Amino acid sequence: MLFEKTLLNKQIIKVMSGAVLMGAIATPAMAEYQLPDEVGEGELIIVPKAGLSDQDLNEILKKHDAKVEHEPAVMRGAKTMKQSLRANLVKVPKEKREKVAKELNANPHIEYAEVNRLVELESITANDPKQSWHLNKMNLPEAWSKSKGKGVVVAVLDTGVNTSHEDLKANLLSGYNVVSKNTNVTDTNGHGTKVAGVVAAVSNNNKGVASIAWDAKVLPVKISNRSDGVASLFDIARALTWAADNGADIANVSYQISDSSTVKGAAKYFHDKGGLVVAAAGNSGKSMTCTDNEYVITVSATTSSDGKASFSNYGKCIDVAAPGQGLATTTKNGSYGSGTGTSFAAPATAGVLALLKAANPKMSNKELESLLENNADNSMFSGSFSTKFGYGRIDAGAALRDSVYVPDPEPELDQTAPEVSITSPKQDSEVNGLFSVDVNAADNEGVKKVELYFNGQRVGADFSSPYSFSVDSSAVADGEHTLTAIATDTSGNVTETANHYVVVNNAEEPVTPD
């Protein structure tokens, strides 16, 4: 989660540790993003309803003195945010951005609009740069007897990494810089190298420090080119989708991200590809008004005596807690130091998940998260859940002990088709111009997607509830036309609605987008 402050009258979101992540803002095609001095200036992230054409979106934006900022070309193998999440970066006059976001969120053809805020790291100085108490506290010696994370890829979305560090280079994969659209992941702040070292520094080699997942691989995804480490929500979301498309099993985001619809959409994209996203709670030491995010594991920080670290945020969105004070790790200058903050509790958690994933490669992401939470140490509070610790402080040994995975011999295939119906407009309703279509879909195992067809032509697909589409009737003759919705569940079962008729009447003044 991100804790916000005002900086130069712009919204900033802090990350959870001792460095600052950087971000960037779109400029003309093929140019590198440059972050303006005044962060988040005049930018919105807008996701239209499925089926809304670029032309119709531009008509909507024109009425708000806004326009889509062309997203620079990406490296081969990477997707643009529009391709992966239907997300558009939009320029608006900076004095109007809050007003325009509110108005667009009220538009029936817009799924959501939010300000492209920037996120910032927060430094905390540790007392003892050499201590590694967290390894025993999380019962890792027992865990290592069962798993060291071999075969698992952890994406570290951060300020880059020192790729020549003697205790990191053997465990590093070739990464990506979402800001510059290239493979230069040089650490411009130092925070990313520390985070990577907590996850998977080369260990048991008589030098340096021991990490959590000795044999896991780190995929560096650089989300900031600035020395202060500030990053935008848009770039964090782009990094998540790139990591999902490039083999990452787990993503560590040492930022407070739970209140962003864009990042939540990217986390869902990562989650739907079988991955797990871990994020930090933040270092403001305050209670957050937040709810659980099913696509993100949010981590608070604990002390060596299993108390909540004074700086750690807390709230209903906390899933687990992990050590976050004085974790011995690698540094940008090729040496060793320590990290303090929820920025380091998060990668400690990501490292344990890598151990669990390696030991249980057939487990789903939901099963792995349950394994982590159900075996957490909750002796520091009464009941089964705490806003300070979530389900408890991570116990890697207990989780690995409980993780012998025996799949059902021959599980019965799900043959129950989903239920699907068009709820709006009603049967035989009169429509004109650009109109909205709402679909209801449900399934015993889960709906994978809903597709909408107008006169047999595919309008688009929506992958999450509520399922809503925009249909342009301006190109068809007046009279009766058909809508058809098709729902597909996670097992591949398909249900198609009977023809749902609407009457197009464009002879009257057409409805135009607001």
Assign 125 to helix, strand or coil: coil
Contact status, residue 323 vs residue 345, Cβ threshold 8 Å = yes
Structural domains of the chain, count? 3
Identify the active-site residue in 64, 191, 481, 500: 191
- For residue 372, give its domain range: 127-401
- 265 lies in the same domain as 211: yes
- 141 lies in the same domain as 93: no
Phi–psi pair at 272, nearest 5 degrees: -65, -20
Is residue 37 among the annotated active site residues?
no
Strands 217-222 and 250-253: unpaired
What Rg value do the Cα atoms of the chain yield, rounded?
A: 24
Domain membership of residue 408 (yes or no) is: no
Please say which residue of 119, 154, 171 terminates a domain.
Answer: 119
- 57 lies in the same domain as 136: no
Q: Which among 22, 409, 38 has a CA at the least distance from the CA of 189?
A: 22
- 198 lies in the same domain as 55: no
Q: What is the pLDDT of residues 243-279, one digit of tens each?
A: 999 999 999 999 888 788 899 999 999 999 999 999 9
The structure tokens listed for 361 are 């490669």
Domain membership of residue 512 (yes or no) is: no
Rounding to the nearest 10 degrees, give the CA dihedral for residues 339, 343, 344, 345.
140
**pLDDT tens, N- to C-terminus, the chain (514 residues):** 333 222 223 333 444 443 333 333 322 222 233 444 444 568 899 999 999 999 999 999 999 988 888 665 555 556 778 888 888 989 998 888 899 999 999 999 999 999 888 877 654 444 334 458 999 999 999 999 899 999 999 999 999 999 999 999 999 999 999 999 999 999 999 999 999 999 999 988 888 899 999 999 999 999 999 888 889 999 999 999 999 999 999 999 998 887 888 999 999 999 999 999 999 999 999 999 888 889 999 999 999 999 999 999 999 999 999 999 999 999 999 999 999 999 999 999 999 999 999 999 989 999 999 999 999 999 999 999 999 999 999 999 999 998 865 554 556 788 899 999 999 999 999 999 999 999 999 999 889 999 999 999 999 989 888 899 999 999 999 999 999 999 999 888 999 999 999 999 998 655 555 5
Contact status, residue 90 vs residue 64, Cβ threshold 8 Å = no
Domain membership of residue 245 (yes or no) is: yes
Handedness of CA 206, 209, 214, 217 (dihedral sign): negative
Identify the active-site residue in 203, 258, 343, 470: 343
Please say which residue of 67, 85, 119 terminates a domain.
Answer: 119
- CATH number for 449: 2.60.40.10
Tokens 């109109």 found at: 435
Give the chain's largest Cα–Cα span: 80
Please say which residue of 119, 149, 182 terminates a domain.
Answer: 119
> What is the rounded CA–CA span in Å between residue 510 and residue 4?
43
Contact status, residue 334 vs residue 166, Cβ threshold 8 Å = yes
- 131 lies in the same domain as 113: no
Tokens 């995804």 found at: 221
One-letter amino acid for residue 5 of the chain:
K
- 168 lies in the same domain as 294: yes
One-letter amino acid for residue 505 of the chain:
N
> What is the rounded CA–CA span in Å between residue 293 and residue 485?
28
Contact status, residue 156 vs residue 195, Cβ threshold 8 Å = yes
- 142 lies in the same domain as 112: no
- 312 lies in the same domain as 189: yes
Contact status, residue 218 vs residue 239, Cβ threshold 8 Å = no
- CATH number for 34: 3.30.70.80
One-letter amino acid for residue 35 of the chain:
L
Q: Which among 50, 44, 46 has a CA at the least distance from the CA of 466?
A: 50
- 320 lies in the same domain as 275: yes
Q: What is the pLDDT of residues 415-440, one digit of tens each?
A: 899 999 999 999 999 999 999 999 99
What is residue 96's DSSP assignment?
Answer: G
Helix 261-272 crosses helix 233-245 at what angle (to 10 degrees)? 10
Is residue 158 among the annotated active site residues?
yes
- 486 lies in the same domain as 450: yes
- 205 lies in the same domain as 62: no
Identify the active-site residue in 64, 147, 158, 489: 158
Domain membership of residue 497 (yes or no) is: yes
Domain membership of residue 410 (yes or no) is: no
Is residue 180 among the annotated active site residues?
no
